[in-house]
Structure 1
Amino acid sequence: MSELIDKFVFVRLIKVNRLDLSLFQFDYDLTFAVFFMNADKTIYGRYGTRSSVEDAEKHMTTEGLAKSMQAA
C-alpha cells in the first residue's frame, strides 16, 4: 500500500462550502469519499460508500481503497 500512496498527493478538505459540487457525481449521504483527480479537474476514480449506518465499514476496506488507487 505504501508504494501506491507515494504516487498520490493527498488533500483533505474539511470545509467545502465554496467547492463546485457539479464537478462530481456526489452522494450527500456519504461520510467519507475519495476522489482521484488532476489539477485540471479530470477525475480518474473515486472511492467511498455508505450502505447503512450499521454496516458502514463492511464495504470500505483498505484492500478496496488500494484497488481504487491502482485503477486510477
Structure 2
Amino acid sequence: MDSIQDSLDMVVTAISGGIICPLVQTVDGETYSLMRVPKNKYPPGTRLRVRGHWAEASTCQQGQSIMVMQIEETRD
C-alpha cells in the first residue's frame, strides 16, 4: 500500500521523445516517463500537473517512471 510520502504532485512540461510512454521534464531538468498516459496525448511544451506515485516497475523502458493517477493541463 502506498503511503503519503510516496505520493507525487508536480508541475512538469511535456517533451519530445519517449519509447513507449510520454516524457516530461521538471523545472530542475529532471526527466520522467508517465505510465497510464497515451504517448502522443500532450504535445511538447504543454504544462501539466501530475499526481501519482513512483512506479516500482515500468514498461516505459526509459528512466524513472511515474504511475499517473491524475493529470491535467495547467498554466502554473
How does the TM-score come out when normalised to structure 2? 0.32
* Structure (1 or 2) with the larger CA radius of gyration: 1
How does the TM-score come out when normalised to structure 1? 0.33
Between Structure 1 and Structure 2, the one with more strand by share is: 2
Q: Which has the higher contact order (CA 8 A, sep 6+)?
A: 2
